Amino acid sequence: MVAEQEQDEIELGNALFGARLAKLRKEAGVTQVELAKKLGLTQSIVSRFEKGQRRMYDDMIAATAKILGVTPNDILGVGPCKPIKPEEASLSRKMAKRLKIIESMPRRTQETVLDILDLAIKKN
């Protein structure tokens, strides 16, 4: 039970790191392809970083921060941070797990799931 909870916390931490990285990349106006090229990686590896499926090590964090015009602490989410908008607030573990599953689906399936969610949200 404790090991499962620790694993859930690690997965949530990885997902939050990935979401923060994607947000900073988009704010900098850099695509995954562009970031990958500047880092000497493939786009799929950058995608896996952003999905929390692959860990980014210190040297890669520093290089990414330089490319995006932020600090490594911004990427790590430590130190003074920009205010978080309500829509960017952290999710429950259960919701984060579900979103991670949706992100791993093929793009067409993701779009279908999001369309269904949009309909449900409109009804409420």
Q: Cα separation of 89 and 22, whole Å? A: 15
- Decide which of 36 and 84 is more confident: 36
- Using the predicted structure, report yes or no on whether residue 29 has a pLDDT greater than 70: yes
- Least Cα distance to 93 among 12, 2, 15, 16 occurs for 12
The pLDDT, as a whole number, for residue 77 is 83
**pLDDT tens per residue, range 43-60:** 999 999 988 888 888 899
pTM: 0.58
The pLDDT, as a whole number, for residue 51 is 86
**pLDDT tens per residue, range 85-118:** 555 555 566 777 788 788 888 888 888 988 888 8
Please name the helix (run of DSSP H) or strand (run of DSSP E) that holds residue 32, with its range, or none.
Answer: helix 32-39
Q: What is the mean pLDDT of residues 68-80?
A: 85
- Least Cα distance to 46 among 31, 29, 59, 58 occurs for 31
The pLDDT, as a whole number, for residue 17 is 84
Q: With cut-offs at 50, 70 and 90, classify the pLDDT of residue 84.
A: very low
